[in-house]
Structure 1
Amino acid sequence: MSDSVIEKKYLGISVSDGVTGWHMSTFYLTCVATILLGTFINAFQPFLFNEIMHIPTLEQGVVSGKLNFWGEMAIIASVGFWGAWSDKLGRRAIMVLGFMLVAVAMYLYPHAKSVNELIVYRVIYGLGIASATCMIVTLLADYAKDINRGKAAGLQGVCNGIGAVIALFVLLRLPAVFQQQGMSAFEAGTQTYLIVAGFAVAVGLLSIRGLKAHETVVHEQKPSIFLLIYEGIKAAREPGIALAYGAAFVSRANLTIVGAFMTLWLSNYGTQEVGMTAADALKKAGIIVAIAQSVALFGAPLFGILTDKLNRVTALLIALFITFVGYCSTYLVSDPFGGGMLVVVVIIGLSEIGAIITSGVLISQQTPAEKRGAVIGIFNLCGAIGILVSSVVGGYLYDNWDQSGPFVFVGFCGLVVFVWGLIVKNKIVPLN
């Protein structure tokens, strides 16, 4: 097979000119890594709170909300700049910087002596994960042609599922393995964070060689960063982009709420109601949450095909309705280790991946190439705001109302955007 043919197709996906199989493979590796890192930092928090920092159980919901709040503040402050800078400096440079910042945060995390110090490290993480996440969405639009963008996003969803499953099935088991070898809880936790930091560095270094180099346009005067951000905000006048921004609010909140509060809910139930050790409860929680991510893994190709076959707004509406049903159903769960929870997490897994894929493909379809970095930067900003709001509201509801509170809140947010989508559906004209 000639190089020209390889450049045009990757696993049946039509790719843009100059994009090779190596570029696509590295891109999908960064998808695995980004979700792995994002899943791990939230899912591992119960062990950090209980075994390393010894935070009282009654305070953990608020602390988790604070960490998400300040992490998302960092994302909100930076994500528009990451997208705009990527238009000037190149996607690869921003992606590599993101993984290095995440690695620094992971190394420092278990050494925090107070919640305030932990918040500082979470801000560093937020800056890094913002740049990586922003580049994932931007590179998908850069690399895959619109005709197969749903399929490309479906494969991205598979990679997301793989990353989450590795985090939940492998990384969350490491403390128990290390403790069986004679390490203390602190040593086991620190070693786990160190391994994850090393992984982030490795992926960052591989991205230097594997992602497509930035193509500088000679003698072209580039617009300023602030002008690019303004263009991304102004683009919301187009109803399809505005709806995608709203969907980003819900889809990013989906992923974070599951990582931050589902594991916390299950872990605390295991230690307080069942009498498990913190390591065993975390392992059990990881298995249940991993079911949701496994469903997402297998559901990703389905939503990828669905997004290519149906009107892309229709596909988004389906995902949003599933979000409403799945997340609000958590209120009906009385035994989080029972069969009812398994049904709920299956629905949640479908809604997670469905919202991510359909919103990402819709924003790619509606965005002109010359403004792509800036628009997708604002798209990710809306996702960050979704995480911020759901973390603060969710943390309060978790501690003061019900442990299903964060999920019910996100479910109703999904319903609001679903109704919005029904209203504007016929006003949206595909750009690409």
Structure 2
Amino acid sequence: MASQRSMFTASRIQTLTYLLGVCPFSITFLVFVNSSISFVVTDMIGLHDGEGDAVGTLGFADELLALAACPVWGVLSDQIGVRQVCTAGYTIIALALVLFVQARNVYPQLLLGRLLFSLGGAAVSTMVTAVLPVVTGNGPRSVERVHLGSTANAPSSRLAGFVGMCAGCGALVSLVVLLPLPAHFQQRGFSPPEAIQYSYYTAALVALLVSACCFIGLRDLPGEDGKTWTSLWTASQPDIQTSIARKHSYPTLIKVRMPYLYRFGSAIALGFHNGDILIGYLGGFVARASSVGISLFIPLFVNNYYRRSGLCDGQPTEGTNPGDIKRSCPKAYILASILTGVSQLIALIAAPAFGFLSEKSQRYHVPLLVACVAGVVGYLMLALLPSPDFNGERGNPGIFIVMALVGISQIGAIVCSLSVLSNGILSLPIPAETDSGPDNERISTTAQESEQQPLLGTPAGRKQERPADLKGSIAGVYSLFGGAGILLLTKLGGLLFDALSSSAPFYIMAGFNSVLVVVGVISALVIHLRS
């Protein structure tokens, strides 16, 4: 217990709830819905013409709403607490899963269910980022560590590795437990529509259990005292910006009535003035884009190769959508599953290693740069390979090395961006007037030393909120960057895939990783020159 307390400011129960509840299930239900929604469309609603367009439109609407919802949930968590948002997020997911299988048409009923699911998913995915700095360092001990310059033992980097691993395990939970449910229910005599319906009910029950675990397990998190739903309409906990505004005679109307815009703007501005937070944002962009590159474009690339080469034997299942690789070209589906499986397995194994390495190299972010270089090399090699196959005349076993590099790139970007962002949050100076308690004297002295340097380059006196008050907003912007990465690669990559080459999305991913390498190198040079 002593060693655990030396690493985290949160308790053992709180840490385990975060790692085994919030992190894995933020992925579990998303994988379940994405993998099974086509069966809802065909077997329950009965749509067989235009299935691919309907599923694609639902997914695009999901991402668009999540793009706007993630920052809102992040800012909201700063006011009501991360525990409340986690609980609400999984409750909304449970409700959406139930409503999914009540739909009798795609528009508007199934669309509304998907949008509700997007709201819940945005909440829990944002909280994966927001809870990390709370668990690893939000108390007086972490403040002393940051200001005295001893960051070598900051635990957020190490924990970020386990976050990535637990998220990967969440996908496995979906694949092993939830997705086989329809087949199990059919074996028990239920019709296909009933089997899908009961599968979604089971998933909803799991989401409710996770919500209850978050409500109980995340209670009394450090720095979250007094943050409840009532904070939205009561003045019992005065907003910190109001107190700062009064001290410096600022008008308080906008800051009290529009906290979202103020906090959201502050979180964005921090990206321009704090190198760690900027790199964290860009890392989130690359990480989420990588997930699309692996899960969407690698199967499309394999399918396209098999069709152009005439390797599908010309015998797709009658009446299937050509975009459904599993039924229209089973050989391509098998190969795509092997390649993406290798990539994700390597990522799962490498996640703790990246967390450990990030902890040892917090100054120059070397592990993140290594992951990005692996991405540049891996995606370029993938784009230039004559065949994605590992056997046959044009096949090459080296494809597995390429997949390993791509998996390393993805998990490295996820783990290291979380680590860098969390350390950036914990490194923010803390204004003296926001702290109290037995350690107030030491914190006040440190804060007074930092008051001469405005955090956001604003006029003197306009101080940024302490990390505990902005962590959710920063996490929301991080998720916003991630969503932008998904939408950009999906739309631009899809257009260029059809117009230019099936390798175009991989060149785009190589470019994204190259940009992050350049930014990381420039940041390291600036740090080195200033030291």
TM-score (ref. length: structure 2): 0.69
Q: Hey, what does 2:412 align to over in structure 1?
A: 354
Give 1:408 deviation, angstroms. Answer: 4.4
Distance 1:63 1:325 in 2: 35
Instruction: Report the CA distance shift for 1:24/1:348 in structure 2 as closer, same or farther (over 3 A).
Output: same
Instruction: Report the CA distance shift for 1:178/1:333 in structure 2 as closer, same or farther (over 3 A).
Output: farther
Give 1:227 deviation, angstroms. Answer: 1.4
Q: Hey, what does 2:79 align to over in structure 1?
A: 88
Q: Hey, what does 2:306 align to over in structure 1?
A: none
Matched, 1:128 2:120: yes
Matched, 1:8 2:5: yes
Q: Are the equivalent residues in 2 in contact too, given 1:65–1:392 (CA < 8 A)?
A: no
Give 1:358 deviation, angstroms. Answer: 0.5
Alignment length, in residue pairs? 414
Q: Hey, what does 1:153 align to over in structure 2?
A: 160
Q: Write out aligned runs for 1:206-225 (5 A).
A: 206-213=213-220, 214-216=224-226, 220-223=238-241, 224-225=259-260
Q: Which residue, 60, 74, 95 being the options, matches 2:65?
A: 74
Deviates more, 1:299-308 or 1:103-112: 103-112
Q: Which residue, 102, 112, 116 being the options, matches 2:93?
A: 102
Distance 2:121 2:483 in 1: 11
Q: Hey, what does 2:173 align to over in structure 1?
A: 166
Matched, 1:138 2:130: yes
Distance 1:334 1:116 in 2: 42
Q: Which residue, 265, 272, 288 being the options, matches 1:237?
A: 272
Q: Hey, what does 1:226 align to over in structure 2?
A: 261
Instruction: Report the CA distance shift for 1:120/1:324 in structure 2 as closer, same or farther (over 3 A).
Output: farther
Distance 2:44 2:499 in 1: 25
Q: Are the equivalent residues in 2 in contact too, given 1:328–1:412 (CA < 8 A)?
A: no
Distance 2:190 2:296 in 1: 26
Question: What SS class does the counterpart of residue 244 from structure 1 fall into?
Answer: helix
Q: Are the equivalent residues in 1 in contact too, given 2:4–2:12 (CA < 8 A)?
A: yes
Q: Are the equivalent residues in 2 in contact too, given 1:39–1:164 (CA < 8 A)?
A: yes
Q: Are the equivalent residues in 2 in contact too, given 1:106–1:194 (CA < 8 A)?
A: yes
| Superposed CA offset, 1:183-226 (max 9, x none) | 44433333333322221111011111001333028654344232
Structure 2 unpaired stretches of 5+: 138-150, 228-235, 242-258, 304-322, 392-396, 429-466
Q: Are the equivalent residues in 1 in contact too, given 2:38–2:55 (CA < 8 A)?
A: no
Q: Write out aligned runs for 1:204-283 (5 A).
A: 204-213=211-220, 214-216=224-226, 220-223=238-241, 224-238=259-273, 239-260=275-296, 268-274=324-330
More helix, by proportion: 1
TM-score (ref. length: structure 1): 0.83
Of all paired residues, the percent bearing the same amino acid is 28
Instruction: Report the CA distance shift for 1:94/1:387 in structure 2 as closer, same or farther (over 3 A).
Output: same
The letter for the 1-side match of 2:352 is P
Instruction: Report the CA distance shift for 1:275/1:137 in structure 2 as closer, same or farther (over 3 A).
Output: closer
Distance 2:18 2:8 in 1: 12
Distance 2:335 2:182 in 1: 13
Deviates more, 1:63-72 or 1:374-383: 63-72
Distance 2:136 2:476 in 1: 18
Structure 1 unpaired stretches of 5+: none
Q: Hey, what does 2:519 align to over in structure 1?
A: 420
Deviates more, 1:44-53 or 1:419-428: 44-53
Distance 1:418 1:50 in 2: 44
Question: What SS class does the counterpart of residue 153 from structure 1 fall into?
Answer: helix
The letter for the 2-side match of 1:366 is G
Matched, 1:384 2:384: no
The letter for the 2-side match of 1:74 is L
Question: What SS class does the counterpart of residue 44 from structure 1 fall into?
Answer: helix
Give 1:141 deviation, angstroms. Answer: 1.0
Matched, 1:309 2:306: no
Structure 1 vs Structure 2 CA RMSD: 3.3
Distance 2:51 2:494 in 1: 10
The letter for the 1-side match of 2:100 is Y
Instruction: Report the CA distance shift for 1:396/1:202 in structure 2 as closer, same or farther (over 3 A).
Output: farther
Q: Hey, what does 1:188 align to over in structure 2?
A: 195
Deviates more, 1:76-85 or 1:46-55: 46-55
Q: Hey, what does 2:463 align to over in structure 1?
A: none
Q: Are the equivalent residues in 2 in contact too, given 1:84–1:377 (CA < 8 A)?
A: yes
Instruction: Report the CA distance shift for 1:205/1:81 in structure 2 as closer, same or farther (over 3 A).
Output: same
Question: What SS class does the counterpart of residue 215 from structure 1 fall into?
Answer: coil
Q: Which residue, 300, 305, 311 being the options, matches 2:351?
A: 300
Distance 1:54 1:398 in 2: 30
Distance 2:209 2:354 in 1: 31
Question: What SS class does the counterpart of residue 163 from structure 1 fall into?
Answer: helix
Distance 2:32 2:5 in 1: 35
Deviates more, 1:123-132 or 1:49-58: 49-58
Give 1:177 deviation, angstroms. Answer: 3.7
Q: Hey, what does 1:39 align to over in structure 2?
A: 31
Q: Are the equivalent residues in 1 in contact too, given 2:41–2:51 (CA < 8 A)?
A: no
Deviates more, 1:358-367 or 1:71-80: 71-80
The letter for the 2-side match of 1:356 is I
Give 1:166 deviation, angstroms. Answer: 2.0
Distance 2:130 2:63 in 1: 19
Q: Are the equivalent residues in 1 in contact too, given 2:38–2:51 (CA < 8 A)?
A: no
Instruction: Report the CA distance shift for 1:236/1:418 in structure 2 as closer, same or farther (over 3 A).
Output: same
Larger-Rg structure: 2
